[in-house]
């Protein structure tokens, strides 16, 4: 049989005016029993003289833990939108029990503070425009945040091919700007590798490359090989004779210059100036 106790006193905590100390008398004299948030005082109609038993105390304790968990989740959500999995992980780190976490998640969903589909749509919109990420990377990141396949598909449906091409082209232009001294083939390779890392599909990459069409003139390609050759010389000038020449040619070939252009460079006045 549950022991019945009587609430003898309710006092406000000095350091937290929203929490109250509950004192009980179960026949052995008045004693401090537990503390609760003011919302629990109201929801459970706690007042002096009310009789409560062990089951009541367990229910009150559970409700108070859920309230604590709920308030901490609200703070966590106040900085930015979160997925359900992120909130669950945060509460687990604070060592809340699973039952309390699940009740907290239920309350958050009821007031529309948690909506994984809305989170996924906002995540795609922000990270595509700000970080210029492609759909492949966004899909991976949403999966890591616990978003379902259907919700990911819905979110990515808002990321149009037109936007993907615009962002991919922007990245490609920036990459080309950093590789002006490289061969045309090397430039295209760098652009492709960058766009793959950013999560764009082969189809979008091809369209972006066609959009830019970074074709160097014969003069531009010659300037590029001379600049790259000078850089290679600084690296390999400690070598002599055939070994030096082999290393130079290998370096230029790795930079994707045409063989006939490399041979032209080795016959040029520019090369003679480097080696004299």
Q: What is the pLDDT of residues 96-148, one digit of tens each?
A: 999 999 999 999 999 999 999 999 999 999 999 999 999 999 999 999 999 99
Contacts of 35 (CB under 8 A, 6+ apart): 13, 19, 20, 21, 22, 64
CA distance 42 to 51: 16
* Residue written as token pair 């300037």: 223
Whether 212 shows a pLDDT value over 80: the answer reads no
Span 227-232, average pLDDT: 84
pLDDT digits (tens, 9 = 90+) for 44-83: 999 999 999 999 999 999 999 999 999 999 999 999 999 9
Same fold, 5-110 and 161-212: yes
Contact present, 66 and 96 (Cβ < 8 Å): no
CA atoms of 134 and 200, how far apart (whole Å): 4
The C-alpha atoms of residue 45 and residue 63 are separated, in whole angstroms, by: 13
> At 216, is the pLDDT very low, low, confident or very high (cuts 50, 70, 90)?
low
Decide: residue 195, CB within 10 A, 0-12 exposed, 13-18 middle, 19+ buried: buried
CATH topology of domain 5-110: Arc Repressor Mutant, subunit A (1.10.10)
The chain-wide mean pLDDT, for the chain, equals 90
Domain ranges of the chain: 5-110, 116-156, 161-212, 220-275
Distance in angstroms (rounded) separating the CA atoms of residues 80 and 145: 14
Least confident range of 88-97, 199-208, 230-239: 230-239
CA dist., res. 36 & res. 38, Å (int): 6
Strand residues in the chain grouped as ranges (E): 5-12, 19-25, 30-37, 51-52
CATH number of 161-212: 1.10.10.10
pLDDT of residue 120: 97
**pLDDT tens digits along 5-35:** 999 999 999 999 999 999 999 888 999 999 9
CA dist 152 and 124 (Å) reads 9
pLDDT of amino acid 243: 86
Contact in structure between 21 and 31 (CB atoms under 8 Å) = no
Q: Is the pLDDT of residue 1 over 50?
A: no
Looking at residue 215, what is its pLDDT?
59
């Amino acid at each position: 049989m549950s022991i019945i106790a009587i609430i003898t006193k309710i006092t406000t905590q000095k350091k937290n005016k929203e929490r109250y100390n509950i004192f009980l008398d179960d026949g052995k004299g008045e004693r401090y029993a537990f503390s609760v948030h003011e919302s629990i005082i109201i929801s459970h109609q706690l007042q002096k003289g009310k009789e409560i038993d062990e089951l009541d105390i367990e229910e009150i304790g559970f409700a108070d833990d859920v309230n604590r968990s709920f308030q901490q989740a609200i703070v966590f959500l106040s900085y930015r939108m979160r997925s359900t999995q992120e909130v669950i992980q945060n509460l687990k780190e604070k060592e809340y029990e699973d039952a309390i976490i699940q009740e907290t998640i239920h309350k958050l969903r009821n007031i529309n503070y948690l909506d994984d589909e809305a989170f996924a749509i906002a995540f795609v919109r922000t990270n595509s425009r700000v970080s210029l990420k492609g759909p492949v990377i966004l899909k991976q990141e949403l999966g890591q945040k616990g978003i379902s396949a259907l919700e990911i598909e819905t979110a990515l449906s808002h990321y149009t091919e037109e936007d993907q091409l615009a962002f991919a082209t922007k990245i490609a232009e920036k990459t080309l700007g950093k590789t002006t001294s490289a061969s045309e083939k090397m430039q295209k390779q760098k652009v492709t590798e960058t766009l793959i890392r950013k999560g764009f599909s082969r189809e979008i990459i091809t369209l972006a490359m066609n959009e830019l069409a970074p074709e160097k003139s014969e003069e531009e390609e010659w300037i590029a090989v001379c600049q790259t050759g000078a850089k290679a010389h600084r690296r390999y000038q400690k070598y002599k004779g055939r070994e030096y020449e082999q290393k130079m040619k290998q370096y230029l070939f790795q930079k994707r210059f045409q063989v006939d252009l490399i041979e032209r460079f080795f016959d040029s006045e520019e090369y003679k100036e480097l080696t004299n």
